[in-house]
Structure 1
Amino acid sequence: MSDLDAFITGLPKAELHLHIEGSLEPEQMFQLAQRNRIQIPFASVEELRAAYSFSRLQDFLDIYYQGADVLRTEEDFHDLALAYFTRAHADGVVHAEIFFDPQTHTHRGLPFGVAANGLLSGMRAAEAKFGLSSKLILCFLRHLDEASAFATLDAAEPWLDRIAGVGLDSSEVGHPPSKFERVFAAAAAHGLKRVAHAGEEGPPEYVTEALDLLHIDRLDHGNRSLEDPNLVTRLARAGMTLTVCPLSNLKLCVVDDVARHPIPAMLAKGLRATINSDDPAYFGGYVADNYRAIAGLVSRDQLVTLARNSFLGSFLPDDVVTRHLEAVDAFAASH
């Protein structure tokens, strides 16, 4: 391992943009399919990995939803979560705020609690085993209608004391944040944090809607914000955290080359950017891999800034964030 690799791995960090269903590795997909006696349309792990070639977001989503069908029991979701946390711990992650998509599971007949209870169990196990803290964020699927999102929020009510916030993901183009304004207002009334995918494939106007109508606390992706200088200024002045996912951007053709990724421009313009893995099983890398992908574009001090930003953008209490920032600074000073 090179000195830079060791530095990136050891740097304490939070992950703020991780779809837990997107951490389902082909090996685990086959294992769960066998456990649950489910037929999947791939003959081998190698054939499944070969299918992970996407030209746009929708190509990925099609196989993502297909893969999620092997998740059937609380044990499956527990094992999925713990597998992710084990890998994240190896990458220096000490806190993670993970997304899950309840509609992906309730629409195929699973009760809300199967996914929620399994994931929460896996989160507790990760804290006990690794000291890795985590929070759970319920995401609404934006290609479904408002009524389905409201039904999901209603179904979640018994678990809301263990859910940190709501998010918005899935097919972006044609499904603007305004479609979910009332659902996000209802979530806010429950005291939940709000995040939303915007400005990945959708235009900068979607980011503005997420700010003005959904009143988001954090912006997921946000790459296309750079097309609107006034929006960039607004995000910088507000200290809005952007959860950027370099390898995902490359795999989904949001950028054509990691060497031209906008992360240096984001930092130069004063944006509170962070580095995350999005759907690591599908996009070829966990969080440390994403740091390595952009390491040649930024300085060592900027890598430290990205790690600090991950805690500043988290939903942890101030005193806990302070401890993590001190750990980041101590690590950087000793290396």
Structure 2
Amino acid sequence: MTTTPGDKFSYKIELHIHLDGAIRSETILDISKTKGRPIISVDDDGQETVITDQESLDKEIVITTPCSLKLFLHAFNVFMPIIAGDRDAVFRIAYEFCEDCAKSGIRYVEARYNPHLLANTLDKPAYARERGDFSPRDVVITVCDALDKGSRDFNITVNSILCCMTHQPDWSAEIVSLCKEFKDRGVVAIDSAGQDFEPGKDPLLCGHKKAFKEAYDNGIHRTVHAGENGPSEGVREALDHMYAERIGHGYHVTDDPELYSRCKEDGVHFEICPLSSIITGACPEDIMKHPLIRFADEGVNFSLNTDDPIILNNALADDYVLANKMGLSDEQIINSIFNAARASFATEEQKKKMLQDLVNVYGEH
């Protein structure tokens, strides 16, 4: 994560950031060298390139111009094999995450991740290069331990969200089970992430819907990636069939006037990631056509977030600056921070403290 000069907002809250998308690139390089795990990039023709220095790594994984969501997600193939399956590495990235948030002025954050992607016990590990005994449950324990320590050491509050993956519905039952088991350790919600699903057509949704219904029945909070690169109908499906309390991204909700009006009236919270939305092609390159402007002007409930800092090379302050460039006032950005506090999945005690701290810093909103 970078530090933005002249940052005007001393107390920040972030609700949409992927733990495995917020790793320090220098940590990837250091673990590669100390553990003897080469960083390998494979191009479309199957040609492999071994990366050994910071400049080459950043050139390979940092994306600065609009691309497809598929290409954006491909960057994870380069650095995730260095971390996945390694208990110490997973602890390190989660602990460093807390330090980076504190340095960025983030006082409360919900870090989301899929534990299966960091494990190595699956028949075909998603990223780990060899099988081992680091299970998805072990991943959650390790992350919880690291976030607990990081929260104490850096005086911030870090909760976590466990993600189902749209292409792996067979993982979803275990995800909701882990959410229930570790509810008292800061696992505050379930999410569905990955490539956008096709609402009403995708048979893979069945496994996810069962998990989200179980989450709903057991008082587990729900957020769903929807309407990012996919159609507005995904937002409707997330709300009606996955019991979503918040929507990750959701930009295309504006394509459906009735649904947009419903979300506005019901106060549905949208986790907006300004820079990410442009780089992934979810929103136009012309920032003055970004739906965030309409959200702000019409009083939609939203927060501002980074998404994947290792790929976007952004800090939350950078997304605030981009929002300013779109025409949002500082007051609208402060309102979004209060929105984030109120829409967070924090405990009532944590939320009460957050809101009081925000009033102390920014005044009543």
Q: TM-score, normalising length from structure 2? A: 0.83
Instruction: Indicate yes or no: 2:225 matched with 1:197.
Output: yes
1:45 to 41, 49, 54: 54
RCO greater where, 1 or 2, for CA within 8 Å and sep 6 or more?
A: 1
Matched ranges for 1:303-314 at <5 A: 303-314=333-344
Single out whichever of 155-164 and 256-265 deviates more from structure 2: 155-164
Correspondence for 2:147 = 123
Q: 3-state DSSP class of the match of 1:139?
A: strand
Shift of 1:160: 4.3
Partner residue, 1:266: 295
Structure with greater helix percent: 1
Tell me the equivalent position of 1:88.
101
CA distance in structure 1 between the aligned counterparts of 2:205 and 2:106, rounded to whole angstroms = 33
Kept in 2, the 8 Å contact 1:14–1:307? The answer is yes
How far is the alpha carbon of 1:270 from its aligned partner? 2.1
Greater alpha carbon shift after TM alignment, 195-204 vs 67-76? 67-76
Q: Deviations over 1:197-217 (max 9, x none)?
A: 001001000000000000011
Partner of 2:245 in structure 1? Answer: 217
Q: 1:237 to 1:100 in 2, by over 3 A?
A: same
Give the letter for the 2:248 counterpart. Answer: D
Residue 198 of structure 1 aligns with an amino acid whose one-letter code is A
Q: Which runs of 4+ in 1 moved over 6 A?
A: none
Instruction: State which of 134, 147, 151 in structure 1 corresponds to 2:158.
Output: 134
Aligned counterparts of 1:62 and 1:264: Cα–Cα separation in 2:
30
Aligned match for 2:73, one of 39, 57, 61: 61
Query: Deviation of residue 73 (structure 1)?
Result: 2.7
Unpaired runs of 5+ in structure 2?
41-50, 126-130
Partner of 1:286: 315
Percent identity over paired residues: 21
**CA offsets, 1:53-92, max 9 Å, x none?**
3611111212214422212333212211122221211222
1:150-299 equivalences in 2 (<5 Å): 150-154=173-177, 158-162=181-185, 163-174=187-198, 178-179=205-206, 180-255=208-283, 256-296=285-325, 297-299=327-329
Give the length in aligned residue pairs: 329
Residue 347 (structure 2) aligned to one of 313, 317, 323: 317
2-side partners of 1:320 and 1:153: how far apart?
23
User: 3-state SS of the aligned residue for 1:164?
Assistant: strand
After superposition, the C-alpha distances for 1:210-247 in whole angstroms (9 at most, x for unaligned) are: 00000011111011111112112111121111110011
User: Residue deviations 1:81-114, cap 9 Å, x none?
Assistant: 1222212112221111110111212342431133
Task: Quote how far apart the aligned CAs of 1:173 are.
Answer: 4.5
What is the CA distance between 1:178 and its match in structure 2?
4.1
Give the residue type in structure 2 aligned to 1:211: L
Tell me how far apart the structure 2 counterparts of residues 314 and 283 of structure 1 sit (CA, whole Å).
24
Give the aligned CA root-mean-square deviation in angstroms: 2.3
User: Contact (CA 8 Å) 1:246, 1:258: kept in 2 or not?
Assistant: no
